[in-house]
Amino acid sequence: MPRHPINRYASTISLDHHLRMVDQLPSVISSQTLFGNDAPLQLEIGSGKGLFMQNASGKHPEHNFLGVEIAYKYAAQAAERLAKHNRTNAIMASGDAEPLLNKSIADQTLAAVHIYFPDPWWKKRHKKRRVVNSQSVKHIYRVLEPSGSFHFWTDVLEYFESAIEMIAAEVPQFGPPIPEEPEVDTNPIATEATTNLSPPPIYRTHFERRSRLHQIPVYRVRYDKR
Ligand SMILES: C[S@@+](CC[C@H](N)C(=O)[O-])C[C@H]1O[C@@H](n2cnc3c(N)ncnc32)[C@H](O)[C@@H]1O
């Protein structure tokens, strides 16, 4: 009986163009090194199953997208979405985003950094594992282009409030957070679901979908590099 190597993901289509391990990425991350062009590059940290990567790369074909997801299985699922939708402007990398952010991305490289619903690490002794932390926010500011944006959404009020306070102290150059609104489809194709109700929501990520369907409050902000 053949044995599958650890981490193998049984995809029905080739993920060769859409999935890499973080340590197989170029030592310097840029649109040129990843995609061979100079389009603006956006980074998502903790992509989960990749709904944001799929939608954003389809909506903005003029941009490139790198998603980094530590759980190989989710990275592969996200890559499968990108492959199925023939996205040539988006790839997934499996591994820890923090060393990548700290060491492999030059100053002023990214048009945007996205962190949606990061793991909350509730216990006090585990909070240092949070991906939005005093080091990562400094690097996020550093790698953003002028007027680039950092999007941070969560359903954990304590994480949200402590992150806002920490960013104000660690990276005051960001200025105050800018509230973001949930998206709705303003041009829906008429369907039973849309004819007699308000426009349907567009979920940015799977966790946003889950929170909204369960009426769990979501806290959304963006910071623009000034
Ligand atoms: C709660 S899930 C949210 C997934 C997705 N952003 C969403 O909103 O549906 C958080 C994700 O971040 C990933 N993650 C946690 N730490 C990470 C790290 N250091 N680098 C990359 N991904 C990470 C987890 O594996 C998990 O898939």
**CA–CA dist 66, 110 (Å, integer):** 10
pLDDT confidence of residue 4: 43
pLDDT confidence of residue 190: 53
201-214 pLDDT tens trace? 799 999 999 999 99
Nearest CA to ligand 1 atom 12: 46
Mean pLDDT (whole number) for 181-186: 86
- Does pLDDT of 86 surpass 80? yes
- Does pLDDT of 223 surpass 50? yes
pLDDT confidence of residue 8: 62
Q: Are 199 and 185 in contact (CB under 8 A)?
A: yes
- Does pLDDT of 92 surpass 60? yes
Taking the CA of residue 51 as reference, the ligand 1 atom at the shortest distance is: 9
Out of 66, 69, 98, 129, mutate this one to test ligand 1's pocket (max ligand atoms within 8 Å of CB): namely 69
Among residues 23, 119, 155, 185, the one annotated as catalytic is 119
Mean pLDDT (whole number) for 181-204: 71
Contacts of 216 (CB under 8 A, 6+ apart): 155, 210
116-156 pLDDT tens trace? 999 999 988 898 999 999 999 999 999 999 999 999 999 99
pLDDT confidence of residue 11: 77
Mean pLDDT (the chain, rounded):
92
Taking the CA of residue 44 as reference, the ligand 1 atom at the shortest distance is: 6
What is the secondary structure of 11-73 as a DSSP string? -SS--TTTEEEGGGS-SS--HHHHHSS---EEEEES-TT-HHHHHHHHH-TTSEEEEEESSHH
Mean pLDDT (whole number) for 171-186: 93
3-15 pLDDT tens trace? 444 456 777 889 9
Would you place residue 196 in the very low, low, confident or very high pLDDT band (cuts 50, 70, 90)?
A: low
Give the predicted TM-score (pTM) of the model: 0.93
Nearest CA to ligand 1 atom 19: 96
Question: Of 9-18, 21-30, 160-169, which range is least confident?
Answer: 9-18
- The answer to whether the CB of 205 is under 6 A from ligand 1 is yes
- The answer to whether the CB of 150 is under 6 A from ligand 1 is no
pLDDT confidence of residue 162: 97
Please tell me which residue, 31 or 194, carries the higher pLDDT value.
31
Residue 151: C-alpha distances to residues 19, 24, 43, 164, 190 (Å): 24, 26, 10, 12, 31
Let me know if 119 is a catalytic residue. yes
- The answer to whether the CB of 98 is under 6 A from ligand 1 is yes
- The answer to whether the CB of 212 is under 6 A from ligand 1 is no
Q: What percent of the chain has pLDDT over 70?
A: 91
Taking the CA of residue 68 as reference, the ligand 1 atom at the shortest distance is: 21
Nearest CA to ligand 1 atom 27: 48
Nearest CA to ligand 1 atom 18: 96
Ligand 1 centroid–CA 118 distance in Å is: 5
- The answer to whether the CB of 46 is under 6 A from ligand 1 is yes
- The answer to whether the CB of 67 is under 6 A from ligand 1 is no
